Each structure stands twice: as structure tokens, then as C-alpha cells.
């Protein structure tokens, strides 16, 4: 008798749990299908934007190599010797780096071209001025020594 009563209580609990889970699942399905619409997003624009940024990063890497080469050329250049052709070549390369911004319809993503070109131009001008100052200092020291010798 006790076993029958226990068995009956057990199966009632099982029926209740099964009915409860079935109703919860049914309510969840109804809510997700009919009441809460999951938005469908077209990811093509996002994928295109990511691809554009990958292209920009590749261009930045290419231009970084070019900038390093120009920097090495400026560093190795001797400004004591008058080298108009070499200076024109370096200025032309700097202008080529600056033109990436104009070539891409002045898109702000390509501002790295203008910024790096400006920095290279400042470095070039500074090296040129430094060389000129050293040359002028040497001339002044030589003139001073000549004046000392004459006195």
C-alpha cells in the first residue's frame, strides 16, 4: 500500500515536471518566433568596411617601408656637398608620400601620408640647416683664428 502511494506520488511529480518543462519550452518558442522578432542584419557593409581597413593597413605598411628608406637617405646625405639632383629626388619622394591623401579623395583615413611627409620634410630641413650651421661655425672659427694670428 505504501509502495503504491509512493509510486503514485512519484509519477505525479514526474508528470508535473514534464508538463512544466513542456509549457516553458512552448512559451519560449512562441515568444521568440512571434513576439520578439530577432532582427536580421545585412553584414555586407560591415565586411566591406573591414576589407577597406585591411587595404589601408596594407598601404600604411608599404608607405612605412618607403618612409624608412627616405629617412635613411636623408640621414646618409652629406649637405656639405651641393647635391641639387639628390635633394630634388628626396623632395619628389616626400611629395609622393604626401600624394596618397590626394589620390584617395582626401579621405581622413589616409592622413598618415600628409603627417609622415610633413615630418620627413621637417627632418630634411633640419638636417640641411644643421649642416649649414656647422659649415658657418667652421668658417667663423677659421676667421677668428686668422684674426688671432694677425693680432
Spatial distance between the Cα atoms of 44 and 58, rounded to a whole number of angstroms: 21
Residue 2 has pLDDT above 70, yes or no: no
Per domain, the residue ranges of the chain are 1-40, 42-150
Spatial distance between the Cα atoms of 151 and 141, rounded to a whole number of angstroms: 15
| Tens-digit pLDDT profile for residues 110-140 | 899 999 999 999 999 999 999 999 999 999 9
| C-alpha cell read off for 114 | 600628409
What is the predicted pLDDT for the residue at 46? 84
Provide, rounded to the nearest whole percent, the portion of the chain with pLDDT above 90: 56
Spatial distance between the Cα atoms of 96 and 101, rounded to a whole number of angstroms: 10
Global pTM reads 0.65
Q: Evaluate whether 120 touches 77 at the Cβ level (below 8 Å).
A: no
Amino acid at each position: 500500500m505504501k509502495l503504491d502511494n509512493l509510486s503514485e506520488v512519484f509519477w505525479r511529480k514526474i508528470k508535473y515536471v514534464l508538463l512544466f518543462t513542456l509549457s516553458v519550452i512552448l512559451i519560449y518558442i512562441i515568444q521568440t518566433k512571434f513576439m520578439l522578432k530577432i532582427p536580421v542584419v545585412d553584414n555586407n557593409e560591415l565586411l566591406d568596411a573591414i576589407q577597406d581597413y585591411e587595404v589601408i593597413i596594407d598601404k600604411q605598411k608599404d608607405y612605412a617601408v618607403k618612409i624608412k628608406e627616405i629617412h635613411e637617405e636623408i640621414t646618409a646625405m652629406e649637405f656639405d656637398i651641393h647635391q641639387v639632383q639628390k635633394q630634388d629626388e628626396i623632395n619628389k619622394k616626400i611629395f609622393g608620400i604626401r600624394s596618397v591623401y590626394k589620390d584617395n579623395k582626401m579621405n581622413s583615413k589616409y592622413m598618415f601620408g600628409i603627417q609622415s611627409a610633413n615630418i620627413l620634410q621637417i627632418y630634411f630641413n633640419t638636417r640641411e640647416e644643421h649642416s649649414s650651421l656647422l659649415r658657418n661655425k667652421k668658417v667663423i672659427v677659421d676667421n677668428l683664428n686668422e684674426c688671432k694670428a694677425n693680432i
